[in-house]
Structure 1
Amino acid sequence: MLFRALRPLVSGLSLAVLSSLTQASPHWAYQGHHGAAHWAELDPAYEQCGMGQQQSPVNIDHTTLADLPALNFHYGTVVPTIWNNGHTVQVNVPAGQTLEVGGQTYELLQFHFHLPSEEAVHGHRYPMVAHLVHKNAAGQLGVVAVLIEPGSANAALAPVFAHLPRAGEHITVDELTLDLGALLPKTLGYYSLAGSLTTPPCSEGVNWMVLKQPMQLPAAQVAAFRRLIGTNARPLQALNGRTVTESR
C-alpha cells in the first residue's frame, strides 16, 4: 500500500494482507491448487499453515466461563481508505483508535470481511464476519471478530458498501467518514482464545476476541460482497487442546 506514507505499511501487517506485501510472495487463494489445503506447500514461510498447533479459525463449542477483562473501545469518527486486495475488502483507519483490555492497549489498524464467517459458534457459521485488527506496543496482534447476520440497515458500514473498490483499487473520499464505535454491538460479551492469522503465513500468537452478539447488515450488501470477492473463509482448524474462554 502506498497511501499516507508509513501507515498503510503497518496496516498491511494483518490477517488479510501479510502475503501481499512483496511481489515475491507466492500467490495463494481459497480454492483450487493454491487454496487453503495447499498453503503450507506454497512457500517455506507458510509452514505454520500446515504444522501450527494454534491455528485459526475454530468452532467455538465447549467453553469455560470466566471473569474476562472488559473490552474498552476508544473509537471515534475517521476518514478511512478502502482497499480491495483481491482477498477481501479492507478498511484502513488512521492512528488513534484504541482498545484497552486486560492492561494492554491495542491500536486499531484496519478491519476487513470474510464470507461466510470464519469462526463457527456451536457449528454455525454466520453469513459474514468483520475482523477488527489491532496491535499493541510489543507488536502483538489482538483481533476482535464481529459476527454479521442479515437484517436491518447498518449506518456504520453503509459508506463502505457504497464505495466497494475493484480488485487492487484504493478509495479515499475526504467526505466519507466512519463512526467506528457504531461498528460494535450493544453488548460486548466475548469468547477468548489464542490463535493465528487466518491467511498465509498463518503466524501464531494472535489474541482472538469473538463478540457473542452479532451485528446486522442488509442481505443486499452481503450479496454485493459475495459478487465482488466470493467465498473467502479458511476451513475450521483443530483446537489441539486449547481452551476457549467465555465471558460471564
Structure 2
Amino acid sequence: MNRIWIPLALAAGLAMPAQAQHWGYEGHEGPEHWQEMNPDWAVCAVGQQQSPVDLTQALQAGLGTPEIDWAEETAGVVVDNGHTVQVSVENAGGITLDGTDYRLLQFHFHAASEHTIDGRHAPMEVHFVHQSEAGDLAVIGVMVQPGSSLPTLDRIWAAMPADSHASPGIAARVHLNDFLPANRGAFRYQGSLTTPPCSEIVSWTVFTTPVAATARQIHTFEERHPDSFRPVQPLNRRFVLVSHD
C-alpha cells in the first residue's frame, strides 16, 4: 500500500500554513463541520478509523508497548499555532514500534483529553508525534491528572508565546522522560489524526496510567486553549488492545 509523507506542519494535524483553510473546535468551524470546509477533509466524516476513541472493553494482548529512546534533555521550540501549544524538537530520539523506527517530531497538548478511558476525560492529554521513513505516524498519548508538579511543564509555559500571532517560537530545554508514567501498560489501536485532514495513518499508543501535574500547571494551558479536543469517534470494526507493564 502506498504511504503518504505528511509534512511536519500536518504531522501534528495542527500547525497549518497561514494560507490553509482555518478550522476550530466550536461553532461553524468545529469538528462537525470540518468535512464541509475542504473537500480534502471528507475523511473526517466518512472515515472508518477516526480518532480519538473511547478506550474501553479493550482486549488483552501480548503486544509490546513502544520501545522509547528519547533524549534525556533536548531543546524544543515552543509555539502557539492557534489550536494548541506545540513543542517542536530535532535529534530528540524516537521509538521502535513493531519493528519500525519512528523519529520524534513534536509534542502538543489538549484540554480536556481527546481520548477517554471508560467514558471519562482526563483534564489534559499530551501527544508525542513520531514519523517513520515511510511517512506513517506513531503517536503516544499521555493523560495528565492533578497532583504533584511536572517540572518540565514550567519551562514550556515560561517559553510560551504571548499569543498565536507571536513568532518565531521560543526555545526551551525540556526533559521528555518527565512525561512517561512509571507503569508502561498501554492501549493500542489504529486510527487517524485528530484534526484536519484526519488522515488514517496513525498507530496510537495511549498509556493506561496518567502522569501528574499541578492544578495550576494544567489550568495554565486550559486558559489558553479551553475545550481543545475532538469528540470521540465510533470504533466501527476496530479493536482496542491493552497490554500491561
| TM > 0.5 | yes
Cα distance in 1 between the residues matched to 2:236 and 2:145: 29
- Stretch deviating more after TM superposition (178-187 or 111-120): 178-187
Aligned 8 A contact 1:83 1:168 in 2:
no
Give the aligned partner of residue 78 of structure 1.
74
Instruction: Find the partner of 1:186 among 159, 182, 202.
Output: 182
Aligned 8 A contact 1:151 1:219 in 2:
yes
Identity of aligned residues (%): 37
Give the aligned partner of residue 57 of structure 1.
52
- Stretch deviating more after TM superposition (153-162 or 84-93): 153-162
Shift of residue 162 of structure 1? 2.0
Cα deviation 1:201-241 (Å, max 9, x = unaligned) = 11102100001110111111211112112211001100012
Quick check: 1:155 aligned with 2:151? Answer: yes
Cα distance in 1 between the residues matched to 2:62 and 2:198: 29
Aligned 8 A contact 1:115 1:127 in 2:
yes
What is the one-letter code of the residue matched to 1:171?
Answer: G
Aligned 8 A contact 2:111 2:222 in 1:
yes
Aligned 8 A contact 1:193 1:209 in 2:
yes
- Aligned residue for 1:221, secondary structure, equals helix
Shift of residue 181 of structure 1? 1.8
Quick check: 1:237 aligned with 2:228? Answer: no
Cα distance in 2 between the residues matched to 1:10 and 1:203: 12
Cα deviation 1:72-98 (Å, max 9, x = unaligned) = 111111111001000000000112411
- Aligned residue for 2:220, secondary structure, equals helix
Aligned 8 A contact 1:56 1:237 in 2:
yes
Shift of residue 179 of structure 1? 1.3
Give the aligned partner of residue 141 of structure 2.
145
The 5-angstrom pairing of residues 1-248 of structure 1 reads 10-17=7-14, 20-21=16-17, 23=19, 25-76=20-71, 77-165=73-161, 166-169=163-166, 170-173=168-171, 176-248=172-244
Task: Give the root-mean-square deviation of aligned CA atoms.
Answer: 1.5
Cα distance in 2 between the residues matched to 1:203 and 1:187: 30
Aligned 8 A contact 1:16 1:87 in 2:
no
Cα distance in 2 between the residues matched to 1:10 and 1:40: 21
Give 5+ residue unaligned stretches, structure 1. 1-8
Shift of residue 10 of structure 1? 4.3
Give the aligned partner of residue 3 of structure 2.
none
Cα distance in 1 between the residues matched to 2:222 and 2:77: 20
Cα deviation 1:34-75 (Å, max 9, x = unaligned) = 111100000101101111010000001111101112321111
- Aligned residue for 2:218, secondary structure, equals helix
Cα deviation 1:139-172 (Å, max 9, x = unaligned) = 1000000001011110132211222222133432
Give the number of equivalent residue pairs: 236
Aligned 8 A contact 1:157 1:183 in 2:
no
Give the TM-score of the pair, scaled to structure 1. Answer: 0.91
